């Protein structure tokens, strides 16, 4: 079995800039946001205040799932530690579990809107590297447990010796073992990790699809922004002939 590191992703940017962050006087928090979210609030003072007043090392905004079948990552507790579960990691029974009031139990969608303390990020980089080294040594001894990774089936191009060219398979022929920024959440103490529920229509309008798709397009994002601004103006007595058009 062959393993290769594809890229370091966003973590390399954090690590490369940590020295300048550490030197910056008075900086306590870093707000990491999803660039696809058209309604995101960078450096939201209410969110940062929420983390600060509760003395959280890390805190995330979340929105409730639209339905049990919505394919989104969700916040969970695993071994009493905060985690984020991929859609493939929750079976149908778990997705449909409800509490005594009829609300979905696994409904806190992870939307890549997180506040970290600089101290927590330093701890992740220093101790996280030690953990990766430990896993690497185990991997070379063929005793690595993949439960720490998110396992995804993929169609992987390969070189066909007969055709003498690269081939893209029709079916999944390989696995990728992935780690994400939220895989650092278990390094936070449970009492130092918080969740803040927000309204989808106020703060979440991602653009992940091209024009013409049903949802999450540039058009639906602009509509969401127009409706948000209309609600602001309507709360001050302004009226409109039609919704979503300014």
Domain locations along the chain = 10-201, 207-246
CB 163 within 8 A of CB 178: no
pLDDT tens by residue, 13-67: 555 666 666 666 678 898 999 889 999 999 999 999 999 999 999 999 999 999 9
Does the predicted TM-score (pTM) go above 0.85? no
Please give the CATH topology (third level) of the domain spanning 10-201: Spore Coat Polysaccharide Biosynthesis Protein SpsA; Chain A (3.90.550)
Q: Count of CB atoms within 10 A of residue 175's CB?
A: 13
Smallest Cα–Cα separation from 173: which of 159, 188, 186, 158?
Answer: 158
- Assigned token pair, 125: 């980089």
Supply 185's token pair.
């959440």
- Read off the pLDDT band of 143 (50, 70, 90): very low
Q: DSSP string of 141-159? A: TT---GGGSEEEEE---EE
The 8 Å CB, 24+ separation contacts for 64-67 are: 64/104, 64/107, 64/108, 64/109, 64/197, 64/200, 65/104, 65/106, 65/107, 65/108, 65/109
Q: What pLDDT is attached to residue 58? A: 95
């Amino acid at each position: 079995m062959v393993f290769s590191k594809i890229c370091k992703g966003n973590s390399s940017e954090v690590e490369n800039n940590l020295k300048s962050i550490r030197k910056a006087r008075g900086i306590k928090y870093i707000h990491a946001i999803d660039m696809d979210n058209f309604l995101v609030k960078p450096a939201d003072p209410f969110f940062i205040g929420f983390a600060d007043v509760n003395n959280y090392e890390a805190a995330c905004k979340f929105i409730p799932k639209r339905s049990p079948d919505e394919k989104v990552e969700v916040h969970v507790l695993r071994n009493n530690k905060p985690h984020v579960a991929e859609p493939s990691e929750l079976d149908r029974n778990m997705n449909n579990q409800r509490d005594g009031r009829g609300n979905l139990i696994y409904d806190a969608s992870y939307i890549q809107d997180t506040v970290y303390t600089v101290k927590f990020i330093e701890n992740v980089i220093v101790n996280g590297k030690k953990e990766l080294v430990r896993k690497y040594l185990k991997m070379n001894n063929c005793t690595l447990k993949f439960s720490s990774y998110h396992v995804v089936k993929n169609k992987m191009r390969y070189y066909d010796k007969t055709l003498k060219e690269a081939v893209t398979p029709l079916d999944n022929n390989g696995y990728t073992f992935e780690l994400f920024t939220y895989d650092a959440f278990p390094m936070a103490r449970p009492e130092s990790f918080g969740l803040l529920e927000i309204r989808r229509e106020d703060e979440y309008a991602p653009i992940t699809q091209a024009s013409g798709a049903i949802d999450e397009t540039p058009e639906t994002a602009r509509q969401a922004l127009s409706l948000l601004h209309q609600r602001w103006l309507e709360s001050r007595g302004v009226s409109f002939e039609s919704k979503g058009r300014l």
